[in-house]
Structure 1
Amino acid sequence: MNASVRLSVSSLRAHKRRFAGTFLAVFLGVAFLAGTLVMGDTLRAGFDTMFGNATSGTDAVVRSAGAITTPGESQGVREPVDTDLVRTVEQVPGVAAAAPDIQGA
């Protein structure tokens, strides 16, 4: 047996609690990291599925170019589009159906 291996084994025998504590700390660290990564992937997949289902069957969305912002707001709210625009969109070649989607704040 190599001298360094014998020294390592004798050190482990002499310091069992230290070895067990180090092993436990590394094991828990790896377990928490793996759990965090799995949870993140699960949440990401859930959101992708949720938003995919919400827009399934929708090929295009017509919305205004401008946004209404108030002081302290970072993104603002889109300006409303006239519901009469549905008739115009229905007459576009290739459009099978058009439906207004009214959203409130």
Structure 2
Amino acid sequence: MTNGNPSVILEEPSENKAMLQPSELIQRYITLYQGSANPYVRKEPFIRDKGTPVWVVVGYSLGGHSLAQTAAAFALSEDEVQAALCYYQQHPAEIMRRIESTEAVVE
């Protein structure tokens, strides 16, 4: 069960990697729902080109997994995981609602 704490710790980039701003990470790696009547269009934020919902990545990370562990678990880059965590920091209620609704079904 998650603790609902929106203060996920974002990890510092490695020395050989430039740090992107949260808005840049989100813009580059997160696809947002744009309001479509098409039933085949996902209606939640997800990792671009991978399809993994942001809430899944965040929920796993909140379970105590490191950035590298989370990336490996979902075959994502560390930047993609960082983007999901940045989105969560900007929209904690939205993501926690989704995580909690799934936990309620599982329990």
Judge same fold: TM > 0.5, yes or no.
Answer: no
TM-score by length of 1: 0.18
Greater helix content? 1
TM-score by length of 2: 0.17
Compare CA radii of gyration and give the structure with the larger one: 1
Larger RCO of the pair (alpha carbons < 8 Å, separation 6+): 2
